[in-house]
Amino acid sequence: MTRRQWGRLLGALALTTASALVWGVAHLQSGRRLTGAALFAVYTALACLSAALSLGHRPELLRLAFSPGWLAFTVAGVLLLAAVWAGVVARSWFLVRPRGLRAPVRIAAFTLVLLLCTAVSAPFVLAAHATFLYRGALLSIFTTSDHARAENRDDPWKGRPRLNILLLGGDAGRNRYGVRTDSITLASVDTRTGDTVLLSLPRNLERVPLPPGPAARHFPDGFTGEGEMTPGLLNEVYQYAEDHPQMVPGVPRGARGPALLRPTVAGILGQPVDYHVLVDMRGFSRLIDAMGGVDLTLPEDITYGKSGEGRLPAGRHHLTGAQALWYGRSRTDSDDYVRMGRQKCLMRAIARQAEPHRILPRFQSLAKAARRTVATDIPPSLLPALLELAKKVRDQGEITSLQFVPPLIDTAEPDYAFIRARADRAVAGRGRKTASPAAARTAAAARSSKRPVIRPAPQASLPPSPDPAKPVSLDSTCPS
């Protein structure tokens, strides 16, 4: 090739590259002024629209981000934009390419243009794929149930001073039948301040009163189960409802468990339950791995496994999903009540470390893991406001925990009036003044005189409070 031919080739490639950055450049250079001007106008309009939406309409965009219908439209639109952009680049090359090139040079130039088309369209294709996965996760995780109330889009917390979400941890597995909700916590959030109270119920609570209806008529003296497979503990209510549709008439399979457990917990605590979130504890480890692990300080060695074959030594650790699961689930050398405390500390650590810069790079992995692990009846339309509330909880609010465990209560013969009264005090904030040790001992003695003596847990997962009925701050009790 002559020097002139090389110059024409390089100039054509430069114009094609310029058209990939700004539509219409090659068209204008080749004399297609009308088409070039139209492409430039469309390109400028798209750029201005994107800037205006991102700068001035972020709340509206956030709401649309949780609309499955809009997300489907977005996937189609992004793929169309990728195809149009690649088409503009290809057409630009055909307009300005030099004639008379030898076959090897022509093939090499075409390959470069093809790579350029791929480079400009690949980000849009990847974005469409991520949006498609996200939409699938959204449809899989979030379902609006019949009890979900209509939300005020402008201010969903108007007239709602508190938001109560029931957090459930299920232990479904290949070697187990059904789902037992071994972790049961009501998170009551002050929508103005972000202050949050975690009210935890033990899985082995007996004779729990069931809500009015078929279930209460079948178990007038509280849930007692049926036979050895269902001895009558709180963690069995969920699966019992799934197996006995007559307990919740008209509710489809998969929704019966929440339909019965949600009002049951509301009756035990005397607090309304707005929504629930169920996390499969086996899939929980996948979520932790997807977010890159979690940093946690262990104040003591944690032994796990049926024969104590595993050990997490005391100290600061970056836990994998499997290790975090063992930390929250192990009862070796401890009991249910100890691990309840560890679970609260794990929840606090995850909430504090779920920063955008950690989540976004792992978005696809998290979406896939969450799709198989999490189920909730929170409506997608509420998520933008819920994200803002979560930020307020993390940055401004204080998180306290009240666990209804021995010696505060007797799980075999619970005083449900006492549980409701203490839950009400914790939520209302009336119980935040520390009682004197003498008063606490007097109150504990009075309660123990009415029921069998309960031995304290063999080890404490949280430092003891002067009053066992007083919420304990997780910031002061969970090691940083």
DSSP letter string over 292-318?
Answer: T-EEEEESS-EEESTTS-EEE-SEEEE
Query: First CA to last CA across the chain, in angstroms?
Result: 69
Q: Measuring CA to CA, how many Å separate 58 from each of 53, 76, 191, 321, 358?
A: 7, 21, 21, 34, 21
pLDDT tens, position by position, 240-286: 999 999 999 999 988 899 999 999 999 999 999 999 999 887 778 88
Options 3.50.50.60, 3.50.30.60, 3.40.630.190, 3.40.50.300; CATH for 166-477 is 3.40.630.190
pLDDT tens, position by position, 307-328: 666 788 888 989 888 888 888 8
Mean pLDDT of the chain: 82
- pTM (whole model) above 0.85: no
The Cβ of residue 84 has, within 10 Å, a number of other Cβ atoms equal to: 16
Query: Which structure tokens are listed for 473?
Result: 């701050």
Q: How many CA atoms lie within 13 A of 396 on its CB side?
A: 12
Report residue 227: phi and psi, to 5°: 85, -175
Q: How confident is the model at residue 464 (pLDDT cuts 50, 70, 90)?
A: very low
Say which range, 47-51, 76-80, 132-136, 139-143, has the weakest mean pLDDT.
139-143
The Cβ of residue 386 has, within 10 Å, a number of other Cβ atoms equal to: 20
3 state DSSP class of 462: coil
Percent of all residues in the chain with a pLDDT value above 70, rounded to a whole number = 83
- Per the model's pLDDT, the better-predicted residue between 169 and 231 turns out to be 169
Our measurement of the distance from residue 297's CA atom to the centroid of its chain's CA atoms, rounded to an integer in Å, reads 23
Cβ atoms of 276 and 166 closer than 8 Å: yes
Tell me what pLDDT residue 229 has.
64
- Per the model's pLDDT, the better-predicted residue between 273 and 231 turns out to be 273
Q: Name the residue with tokens 């009501």.
A: 186
Tell me what pLDDT residue 443 has.
37
pLDDT of 154 above 50? yes
- 146: closest CA among 240, 252, 247? 252
| Across 87-97, average pLDDT | 94
Domain assignments of the chain as residue spans, ordered by start:
3-141, 166-477
Say which range, 53-67, 216-230, 360-374, 459-473, has the weakest mean pLDDT.
459-473
Say which range, 123-132, 169-178, 226-235, has the weakest mean pLDDT.
169-178
| Across 419-446, average pLDDT | 59
> Could you tell me which residues come within 8 angstroms of residue 211 by beta carbon, excluding any fewer than 6 positions away?
260, 263, 264, 266, 267
Cα–Cα distance between 117 and 87 in angstroms, integer?
A: 8
> Could you give the angle at the alpha carbon of 341 between the alpha carbons of 468 and 293, nearest 5°?
155
Tell me what pLDDT residue 455 has.
32
Query: Which structure tokens are listed for 113?
Result: 């243009």
Tell me what pLDDT residue 158 has.
85
Cα–Cα distance between 383 and 163 in angstroms, integer?
A: 13
pLDDT of 54 above 90? no
Q: How confident is the model at residue 305 (pLDDT cuts 50, 70, 90)?
A: low
pLDDT of 437 above 50? no
**Would residue 21 be called left, alpha or beta, if left means φ above 0 and alpha means ψ between -120 and 50 degrees?**
alpha
Cis peptide before 406 (omega within 30 of 0): no
Say which range, 117-121, 222-226, 435-439, 464-468, has the weakest mean pLDDT.
435-439
pLDDT of 357 above 80? no
- 320: closest CA among 288, 357, 364? 288
- How do 310-312 and 302-304 pair as beta strands? antiparallel
- 197: closest CA among 432, 354, 457? 432
| Across 177-190, average pLDDT | 87
Report residue 257: phi and psi, to 5°: -55, -55
| Across 90-111, average pLDDT | 90
- Per the model's pLDDT, the better-predicted residue between 434 and 351 turns out to be 351
3 state DSSP class of 87: helix
Q: How confident is the model at residue 232 (pLDDT cuts 50, 70, 90)?
A: confident
3 state DSSP class of 184: strand
> Could you tell me which residues come within 8 angstroms of residue 85 by beta carbon, excluding any fewer than 6 positions away?
20, 120, 121, 124
pLDDT of 81 above 60? yes
| Across 18-23, average pLDDT | 95
3 state DSSP class of 177: coil
pLDDT of 453 above 80? no
